[in-house]
Every structure is written in structure tokens, then in C-alpha cells.
Amino acid sequence: MTTATPERSPVPDVSGRLTVTRALSLLGGVPFLGWLLGGLAAVLAEYLFGLPLALALGLRRIPVLFGFEVMLKAPRYIPGTLVYLVLVYLIPAALVALATARVTDTLAARLLRSPALSMVVHLALLYASIHLWCGLSDYRYLVGRLALIAVMLTLSLNVVNGYMGEFSCSHPGFMALGAYTASVLTVLFFVEDDVFGAPLLPPALGPFFFPLALVAGGLVAALGALAVAIPSFRARGDYLGVITLAFTFVVKSLFENLEIVGGPRGFMNQPNWAGLPTVFAWTVVCIAVINNFVRSTLGKALNAVRDGEIAAEAMTVDTRRTKIVAFLFAAFWAGVAGGLFAHVVSYINPATFGVQKLAEVLAMVYFGGLNSVIGSIAGGLGLTLFSEALRPLEVWKWVIIPVLLVFVMANRPTGLIAFREFDVMKLLGPRRGRKEGSQNVSAQG
Amino acid sequence: MSLLKVEGMTHYFGGLRAVYNYNLEIEMGQIRGLIGPNGAGKTTIFNLITGMYRPTSGRIVFDGQDIVGLPPHRIAARGIGRTFQNMMLWRHMTVLEHVKLAHYSRIDYGLVGAFLGTPRRHRQEAEIEERSYELLRMMGVDRFAQKVITELPYGAQRRVEIARALATQPKLLLLDEPTAGMNPEEMIEMVDTIRRIHGVLGMAIFLIEHRMRVVMDLCETIQTLNFGEVIAEGTPDEIRNNPVVIEAYLGKEVVT
């Protein structure tokens, strides 16, 4: 069911109506470029004044994950943290975004003449903000990268579960194949290791070969995906779900029994080449390629397989090819994400890629929204950060997150931002050109 | 040489004989009809011709080639388009996406184009989009192009479905009860539309109908099917007056 619920516009009380409408129209006039600048300003403010401000507000250090970790542990820090959040994030971001709105809007319109340049500028600003934000603590640096990897996993799973409508449970398996393949390659060639011996190539070359190792991991995962893609010709729905689940268990026990990669003890010594720039770049490429694919007519064939396979065949769509492509493509990106994951945490074991992982990724897909690239970005980032933020609650975290999921599923069965096209050029474009007229006048008043 | 030639086609579902010794010859540009009571095997014949089922025995030659055993999408790409009795539209997709996707067999930008968004892909997508709009205009539903299919009224959905079938560029179009569920006015419009697309595109049409007026109006010759066997074949007038047909199927409808 996709009955699009109508946008619920906030209905302010009558007295505040004018100001709220005006504020909203003001915010609506800020292009994405403006928000990126605002975000950068906020992060910069934290970078420059964060620590002294936090100390002055009686906090012991910078609130790492928007203050959740301190507020949930020690409620006495709540006021200080909230003030910090307002002073450091909200005010600088809103001020800069609003103050530069007219300039950034014109600029966004100009940049759009060269889409490539526009993309580069936006990505550079985005990366700068993430880099500064993550740079302030090791914990953020780790969580930030894991969140980006989660986006890749979520998005790739959405290709099968959302766009093609098959319930695939094999993502942890694909991830494991990619993680182990990439790890073995990097350790074998570039690291002094007890099992694999001296590096075969000079370690200095390593970072340049790292992308190749990741791609190799992705390809091995794609090869493994044939084991679920071929049964998908005949089995659908629950039955295919069981096959894909079996795949995950098979891969897991394969690695548990492969002594050369450590068996159940796991495999370590992965070089730390998966820094923030690397992970960010791969995530961007992953999003771009998947978004390109699902918006093409070839990609729409996935939707047709989901909504009516018989009709798809009758309309010349090669459904077998479509299924193979979807599974292999999704597996490839899960494999790449697995490889990155292995090099972020520098340790993997088979237990990492079990049902727990599956539940996480599935939750991200269904929480964020089926058939939606933005949904998957939101789901991956959102659930990773949220689950980290709730860490102080310990066991209760595993009560709150499922309850939240149940709540979302009950109200929006297809997820928060489901069935939405992600038109990048529209996102990067100016705001004013689109709603010329009265709003524009009021925004200038 | 005829466009479609079916010879001695028989199909069993387990022990049930659904179609028996069925023969058909359609020439380029002809409009032919298939009538018969419910469960006579009409849709099964469509499914056999389009490759959804493989006949137990018999030959199907389309455009000079034996198509038995080919997967349905190949048969469709060779030029047999079809619609469905219950439409089988893709419920989450927009009208435009429906018609664009039916151009699938003509897309040659490949996966590289799909993944990377090459200029060739953009050019081809634009061409397909333009052709799709043309077909939607022809069917009078272009104003719905950006709407999700389920938001359309029933009659418009039927038209989109025909536009989708036309997008496969069929030489033979199989229409499975195109006026099912329509009121008399919509029915007359649909008959006009079918006649118009036939006039413009000139493909052969083979249609299943329950409503006598539609087949009698459109078809050059009509086959009557009962229990999987053709019991009568002829022009509308011959069929109308054939006692076997009247007994098997028409019954009261002709009397009144």
C-alpha cells in the first residue's frame, strides 16, 4: 500500500501564525548549498569554541553525539548540553544559512549550469563538515565511518528488498565474503602477518591497491550472490527468504571452519587504510551508481518484477537477467562495504556477520523507507547514530529501538521516506526559482 | 505467408484438457475475435501464444519462426504485444514509467549506461520518453503521465495498459477483454480507440471479448471456443446465425 499520506503542514496557533509562516518561508528559501554552509559554520564553531564553551557550561568535555551520551547518563548535564547544542549547532547553522540564502541561491543556480562542478562544490562542503565534526574525537571518527558504511549496506539491500521486492536475508553473507576477501588480500600483500608471512609487495604501495582489494571483495560477494540469484528464478517471497537466510548461515559457518583466516577466533591485522576520505568517497560512488541505476528504465525493471513479473515478461522485460543483475549488484556493494568495515575496525570474526547484523540492516532499510535512496541514507545514518546515542541506556536500548521500529511500521508500513525519487539536480538547485511570487516578497520584507 | 500460424495446438493442465487441436492463421493487419463461455480456454490460448505456458503439442509460427519454447519476453520482443483481462499494472509505478519500461527490449545503453549515466543513456531515455508521451496522447491519457497508476480511474488504467502494450511495438496485439468492466459509453469509446490505433499503426489484432457488440463491430472473422475446442469460425454474421454457437454460448443474448 502506498497511499501517499498528505503532507501534514504544521498548524500553528493563530497568534503565532504569521511569524511561523514567515520563518518557514524564510527557511524554505535556503538552498541545499546554504544548509551546507550553515552546517560547516556550526562545525567550525564547535571546532573553535566547543571545548571552552562546554567547560564554561559545566560539562566535562564536548558532547560527542549531540549530548545524548551525557544527558542519558547524568540528567544534571541536560540544561548545559541543550544550551551547548543551541549555541554551537542551531544558532550558527541557522544564522549562516539564512544570512547567505540570497547569495547561495544565486550561486546554486549558477553552479547548476555545470552539474559536475556543482556536485564537486557540494560534496567538498559536505566532506569538510563531516571531516571537522569527526575530527574532534576518535569516537566520532569511528561512528562516522560506520554510519557511512551502514548507508552503503542499507542502500544495496534496498535494491533487492525495496526496489525488487524480494525479502533477501543474505546481506551479512555478502558482507562477510567482501570483508574476508579484501582483508586476506591486503594482509597477504602488504602486512607482516603470522599466518601469511612477510608482505609480498612493499607496504607503501598498499593504499593505492586498497580500492582493488575492495573491488575484489565486491566481486567475490557478487559471485556468491549467484547462489541466491539462480534460485530466485523459481522461488519467491517467503521461500526465497529462507534460501537467502540459509546463504548467510552457510557463509558464516564456512568462515568459522576456515582455519587459515582464524576460524571462529576471527581475522585481524587489517591495515587502517579505510580513513574517512576513503569511506566517504566510496559511499558517494555507491549512492551515485545505485541512484543512477534505479532511476534508469533498466532499473525500473526491478519495480516491474516486484509489482508483476508476468506483465513484465509480456512487456519484453528479461526478468531473469533483471534478478541476476539486482542480486549481483546489491551483493557487490555489500561486499565493498564489508571490506571497508573490516579495515575500519581492523578485526572481523564470523559472528559479526550473523543474524544480529541482518536484523540491523533490515531495520535500517524498513525504517528509512523502501524503494527510496534518500530513505536508505536516512535509515543508515539515523539508526547508526541513534543506536550509538542510546548506548548509555545499555539493555534498554534494545527495547527502545524495536519499539520505535514497531511504531514506524505500524504508521508507515513502507518506511519513513518510501517510494521517493532522489533527483540530485533538484536538490542542488536554487529554491527561489521554483516558488517565485508571494513567498519571495515576504522573504525579502 | 501469414503473420501468426498456430497448428494443432493442445494443452493439458495435469489431466485437464484446456485447449485441444487449436488452429489459427492471422494475416498482417487483420482484426480477429475469439469468443466463448467462461472457462472455455480463451485466455489459455493467449498464454500459450505469448509463451507464458508451453503447449503440450502443436506448432506456433510467428513471422516465419517457430516460437514454441521461447521465453515470454523474447516472444514479446519479436512483436506479440498483449493486454491482460485483469490488467496487471505495476501498482507502484507512474503511468509514464509503465510505457517507458515496455521499450525495454530496445534499450541498448547497457548496464554501464544504467550505472554511470552516460550521454548515450540520457539520449536514449529522452527518445523513449518522447515516444511514450506520443502513445499516451494517442490513448488520451497523457495528462496522467506523472501519476502513480493506482490513482487513475478504471477506464484510464485500461488505456494505459493498451499504451504499454503498444510500446512493445507489436505486429500482433492480443487484447484480453479490453472492455471488461466498462459501461456502454466507455465501451463505445474503447471500440473507437481500438479502431483508431489499428488505423494508425496497422498491426494485426486478436481479441477476446464477452460483449457481442464489440466483436461484431471490430472483427473480420470470429472463432468460437467451447471446452478448449473451436466449434465455429466465420464472419460476424455467420457466427451470429450459427445454431451451434447460439446453443453453446450466445443463448438468450441473441434472442432478446
Tens digits of residue pLDDT in A59-105: 888 998 888 888 888 888 999 999 999 999 999 999 999 999 989 99
- Residues A257 and A306 occupy one common structural domain: yes
- Residues A90 and A179 occupy one common structural domain: no
Lowest mean pLDDT among A79-83, A249-253, B173-177, B211-215: B211-215
**Each residue of A294-329: pLDDT tens digit?**
999 999 999 999 999 999 999 999 999 999 999 999
Measured between beta carbons, the chain A residues lying within 8 angstroms of B174 are: none
Task: Please tell me the distance from the alpha carbon of residue B17 to that of residue A367, in angstroms, as a whole number.
Answer: 49
* pLDDT for A4 beyond 50: no
Contact between chains at B100 and A300 (C-beta distance less than 8 A)? yes
Task: Please tell me the distance from the alpha carbon of residue A297 to that of residue A304, in angstroms, as a whole number.
Answer: 10
Contact between chains at B93 and A318 (C-beta distance less than 8 A)? no
Residue of A65, A43, A192, A204 whose CA lies nearest to A131: A43
Query: Do A261 and A339 touch, CB atoms closer than 8 A?
Result: no
Handedness of CA A221, A227, A228, A232 (dihedral sign): positive
Contact between chains at A2 and B167 (C-beta distance less than 8 A)? no
One-letter-per-residue 3-state SS of A138-161: HHHHHHHHHHHHHHHHHHHHHHHH
Structural domain of A145: 139-425
**Each residue of A202-214: pLDDT tens digit?**
888 888 999 999 9
CATH number for A277:
1.10.3470
- Residues A148 and A290 occupy one common structural domain: yes
At residue A351, the pLDDT reads 94
**Each residue of A349-400: pLDDT tens digit?**
999 999 999 999 999 999 999 999 999 999 999 999 999 998 888 888 889 9
Q: Give the gap in angstroms from C-alpha A291 to the nearest C-alpha of chain B.
A: 8
- Residues A197 and A75 occupy one common structural domain: no
**Cβ–Cβ contact A299 with B under 8 A:** yes
- Residues A49 and A186 occupy one common structural domain: no
Question: Taking CA atoms, what residue in B is nearest to A296?
Answer: B114
Q: Which of B102, B121, B148 sits opposite A315 (nearest CB)?
A: B102
At residue A433, the pLDDT reads 59
Average pLDDT, chain B: 93
Residue at A440 is within a domain = no
**Cβ–Cβ contact A253 with B under 8 A:** no
Please report which confidence band the pLDDT of residue B210 belongs to, taking 50, 70 and 90 as the band edges.
Answer: confident
Query: How many other C-beta atoms lie within 10 A of the C-beta of residue A52?
Result: 9
The answer for A 303-332 residues in CB contact with B (under 8 A) is: 303-304, 306-308, 310-320, 325
- Residues A57 and A190 occupy one common structural domain: no
Percent of chain B exceeding pLDDT 70 equals 97
Question: Taking CA atoms, what residue in B is nearest to A325?
Answer: B111
The answer for B 23-82 residues in CB contact with A (under 8 A) is: 50, 52, 71-73, 76-77, 81-82
- Residues A166 and A307 occupy one common structural domain: yes
Contact between chains at B105 and A316 (C-beta distance less than 8 A)? yes
Please report which confidence band the pLDDT of residue B129 belongs to, taking 50, 70 and 90 as the band edges.
Answer: very high
- Extract the C-alpha cell encoding B181: 468492466
- Residues A90 and A173 occupy one common structural domain: no
At residue B173, the pLDDT reads 97
Query: Do A261 and A184 touch, CB atoms closer than 8 A?
Result: yes
The CA dihedral of B153, B154, B155, B156, to the nearest 10 degrees, is 50
- Residues A258 and A169 occupy one common structural domain: yes
Residue at A346 is within a domain = yes
The answer for B 147-176 residues in CB contact with A (under 8 A) is: 148, 150, 164-165, 167-168
What are the Cα distances from residue A150, in Å, to A217, A245, A360, A374, A414? 17, 20, 9, 13, 19
Measured between beta carbons, the chain A residues lying within 8 angstroms of B90 are: 303-304, 306-308, 311-312
Residue at A77 is within a domain = yes
At residue B252, the pLDDT reads 52
Contact between chains at B90 and A289 (C-beta distance less than 8 A)? no
Residue at A434 is within a domain = no
Percent of chain A exceeding pLDDT 90 equals 71
Q: Give the gap in angstroms from C-alpha B129 to the nearest C-alpha of chain A.
A: 10
- Residues A255 and A327 occupy one common structural domain: yes
- Extract the C-alpha cell encoding A81: 548540553
In terms of Cβ atoms closer than 10 Å to its own Cβ (0-12, 13-18, 19+), residue A297 is buried
Averaged pLDDT for residues A245-249: 96
Which domain-ending residue is among A77, A97, A112? A112
* pLDDT for A1 beyond 60: no
At residue B13, the pLDDT reads 94
At residue A9, the pLDDT reads 46
Query: Do B64 and B15 touch, CB atoms closer than 8 A?
Result: no
Instruction: List own/partner pairs for A87-91 with CB under 8 A and 24 or more apart.
Output: A87/A53, A88/A42, A88/A45, A88/A46, A88/A49, A88/A50, A88/A53, A89/A42, A89/A45, A89/A46, A90/A42
- Residues A210 and A309 occupy one common structural domain: yes
Question: Taking CA atoms, what residue in A is nearest to B71?
Answer: A313
Contact residues for A313 (Cβ-Cβ < 8 A; gap 6+): A319, B52, B71, B72, B73, B76
* pLDDT for A443 beyond 70: no
Contact between chains at B101 and A300 (C-beta distance less than 8 A)? yes
At residue B234, the pLDDT reads 93
At residue B24, the pLDDT reads 96
Residue at A14 is within a domain = no
Domains with residue ranges and CATH for chain B? 4-79+170-255 (3.40.50.300), 90-152 (no CATH)
Averaged pLDDT for residues B81-97: 95
At residue A319, the pLDDT reads 96
Residue at A436 is within a domain = no
**Largest Cα–Cα separation, chain B:** 65
Beta bridge partners, B82, equal B174
* pLDDT for B21 beyond 80: yes
Return the residue matching grid coordinates 569511506: A279
Measured between beta carbons, the chain B residues lying within 8 angstroms of A298 are: 104, 107, 109, 111, 113-114
**Each residue of A154-183: pLDDT tens digit?**
999 999 999 999 999 999 999 999 999 999
**Each residue of A137-158: pLDDT tens digit?**
999 999 999 999 999 999 999 9
Contact between chains at B73 and A317 (C-beta distance less than 8 A)? yes
**Each residue of A100-125: pLDDT tens digit?**
998 999 999 999 999 999 999 999 99
Q: Give the gap in angstroms from C-alpha A203 to the nearest C-alpha of chain B.
A: 32
Question: ∠ CA(A326), CA(A385), CA(A46), 5° rounding?
Answer: 130
At residue B240, the pLDDT reads 85
The more confident residue out of A140 and B251 is A140
Average pLDDT, chain A: 90
- Residues A315 and A357 occupy one common structural domain: yes
**Cβ–Cβ contact B86 with A under 8 A:** no
State the total domains in chain A: 2
- Extract the C-alpha cell encoding A411: 504508521
Residue at A119 is within a domain = no
Interface test with B, best of A1, A290, A295, A296 (most B CBs within 10 A): A296
Contact residues for A437 (Cβ-Cβ < 8 A; gap 6+): none
Q: Residue B132: helix, strand or coil by DSSP? A: helix
Residue at A437 is within a domain = no
Query: Does the interface ipTM go beyond 0.90?
Result: yes
* pLDDT for A55 beyond 80: yes
Task: Check residue B170 and report its DSSP letter.
Answer: -
Please report which confidence band the pLDDT of residue A232 belongs to, taking 50, 70 and 90 as the band edges.
Answer: very high
Q: Give the gap in angstroms from C-alpha A298 to the nearest C-alpha of chain B.
A: 7
* pLDDT for B251 beyond 90: no
